[in-house]
Amino acid sequence: MRTPLENMKLFADRRQKLAGMMQGSALILSAPEETIRNGSVHNSFRQDSNLYYLTGYEESGTIFVFRPGMTPETVMFVRKKDTERETWDGFRFGPDEAQKQFRMDKTYPIEDFSKEICGLLKGVDKLYYRFYKNAEMDTKIRETLLDLKVSQGRSGFGLLPVFDSDEFLGELRVIKSEADILNHRRACELTCEAHIETMKYVKPGMSEREVHGYFIYQIMKRGAAREGYGGIFASGANACTLHYVFNDATLKNNELLLVDAAGEHNYFTSDITRSYPINGKFTDAQAQVYEGVLKVQKTVISMVKPGLPFQEMHDTASSMLTDLMLDLGLLSGRKDDIMKSGQHKKYYPHGIGHFLGMDVHDSGLYFNKKSGESRKIEAGMVFTVEPGLYIPANDHAASAEYRGIGIRIEDNILVTHNGHENMTQRCPKEIADLERTVGYKN
């Protein structure tokens, strides 16, 4: 979307909310110039989530400086108009149009950043910025901090203190507004539909890659600009690799397919995982493991309401999944000992979920920094609930029928004032529904 949204109010409202939290300080957000591969080919570009969240501006090579209570309050450095470059790379707003259409108080060409920034930070007592490793922008910020100090002469003042903008903005982004929730719901809805279409499509002999391509087609057909993250299409024992990326194996008749994939709508993403039989019928062993994981997932979702410590969801899942491991004979011994020593992590190595929003692993703190206590969940938060059980193909501790089974079931949960809403409810997960939906029948 290279044109400004009709309603710039959304971004102005977010800035206003933020302004109340940062009087006397400034925030700098940036996105580097679009990356160019092999000297001439462009990678696809997605705006930095924080920069988009506060401006709606989608071009690369942008820096936004926010100085609540000061004049100018909103300053954006953008790429200049350039007829020749626009022939190659497409439309640019340029400083004048960007100022008008994105309702900035002041805009400059990006080349003027080093010249203007010291003036914009004079009198500010705190800067919010996120340091990247080896980023060109980091060098500019370091130079700016030193130039500012020098410009104060022998005042005795030290460097302007810098706080992490990710952590700060994360606390704003972790509670979703009504507008955010509408975008989120749409991302969830189109992702559910794409999963259902994909279930109907798969059949033995296809490659994981073809299924991935079909899923991307389904989300884009519904208006998604892109995947919310690199989709995982893992058949058989590939599902036991948590971040499987190859997606190039052939789907086999009696195996399961784990699909962890989602589309993005207006920069909000969903994050759904479903695991189902490629030939439309669970084997007894697959069904046994699947039902166990599903029970855990439903139990954890049913607990969700404001005030619940995040950690309790993880503890419940770990405890129930350990029972399942014992039932399946994957582990033996006393449950307490197993959990204390962490043996259960062999089959359930990850957490129960994560905040979800403009980024798949969205910003927001899970623990109180000082006390280390788990954060209590609040209305307006969105997170995933995604228990899993992964039994490696070469695991001789497991009986043969369970080896190579990897299952994860993941939904997206909005916390409401009196409970929760499962925003991905429409995506089938009961065995009977999955068997009905998967198109291929043996």
Q: Does position 271 bind ligand GLY by CB under 6 A?
A: yes
Residue pair 235/256 in contact (Cβ under 8 Å)? The answer is yes
Instruction: Give 96's contacts (C-beta < 8 A, 6+ positions apart).
Output: 107
Smaller CB separation from ligand GLY, 189 or 271? 271
Name the nearest CA neighbour of 136 among 32, 27, 60, 66: 32
Answer yes or no whether residue 197 interacts with ligand GLY by CB under 6 A. Answer: no
Q: State the Cα–Cα distance between residues 127 and 24, nearest whole angstrom.
A: 9
Instruction: Pull the structure tokens for residue 264.
Output: 């993005």
Tell me whether residue 400 is exposed, middle or buried, using C-beta atoms within 10 angstroms of its C-beta: 0 to 12, 13 to 18, 19 or more.
Answer: exposed
Q: Is 355 helix (H, G, I), strand (E, B) or coil?
A: strand
Min dist CB 366 to ligand GLY, Å, is 14
x/- letters, 351..380, toward ligand GLY (CB under 6 A)? ---x-----x--------------------
Under the binding rule (CB under 6 A), the answer on residue 163 touching ligand GLY is no
Segment near Mn ion (CB under 5 A); pick from 106-114, 160-168, 377-385, 416-424: 377-385
The two tokens of residue 298 are 């439903």
Q: Are 257 and 346 in contact (CB under 8 A)?
A: no
Q: 163 or 366, CB closer to ligand GLY?
A: 366
| Residue 349 Cβ vs ligand GLY, minimum distance, rounded to whole Å | 13
User: Can residue 271 be called a binding residue for Mn ion (CB under 5 A)?
Assistant: yes
Binding residues for ligand GLY, rule CB under 6 A, total: 7
**Cβ 414 to ligand GLY, closest distance in Å?**
17
CA distance 48 to 108: 19
In angstroms, the CA 54 to CA 56 distance is 6
Q: How far is the CB of 410 from ligand GLY (least distance, A)?
A: 6
| Listed residue (243, 235, 176, 230) closest to 360, CA to CA | 230
* Window of 4-12, 52-60, 322-330, 403-411 that interacts with Mn ion by CB under 5 A: 403-411
Please, what's the largest Cα pairwise distance for the chain?
A: 82
Minimum distance between the CB of residue 36 and Mn ion, rounded to whole angstroms? 30
Nearer to ligand GLY, 197 or 386 (CB): 386
The partner in contact with residue 229, picked from Mn ion, ligand GLY, none with C-beta cut-offs of 5 to 8 angstroms by kind, is ligand GLY
DSSP category for residue 388: E
227, 264, 386, 435: residue in contact with ligand GLY (rule CB under 6 A): 386
Of all helices (H) and strands (E), which one includes residue 265? strand 264-265
Spatial contact of 278 and 251, defined as CB atoms under 8 Å apart: yes
Among 48, 260, 359, 362, binds Mn ion (CB under 5 A): 260
Rule CB under 5 A: is residue 424 a binding residue for Mn ion?
A: no
Interface with Mn ion: number of residues (CB under 5 A): 5
Q: Which partner from the list ligand GLY, Mn ion, none does 412 bind, CB cut-off 5 to 8 Å by kind?
A: none
Tokens of 34: 């679009």
Task: Supply the minimum distance, in Å, between the C-beta of residue 225 and ligand GLY.
Answer: 18
Range 381-400, binding Mn ion (CB under 5 A): 384
Residue closer to Mn ion by CB (options 30, 198) is 198
Please give the Cα distance from 95 to 408 (Å, whole number): 47
Provide, rounded to whole angstroms, the least separation between the CB of residue 384 and Mn ion: 4
Q: Give CA–CA dist 387/300, Å, rounded.
A: 9
Contact 79, 110 (CB under 8 A): yes
Residues 402-441 interacting with ligand GLY (rule: CB under 6 A): 410
SS3 category, 352: coil
State the nearest-atom distance from the C-beta of 267 to ligand GLY, in Å.
17
Q: Interface residues with ligand GLY (CB under 6 A)?
A: 229, 260, 271, 354, 360, 386, 410
Q: Interface residues with Mn ion (CB under 5 A)?
A: 260, 271, 273, 384, 410
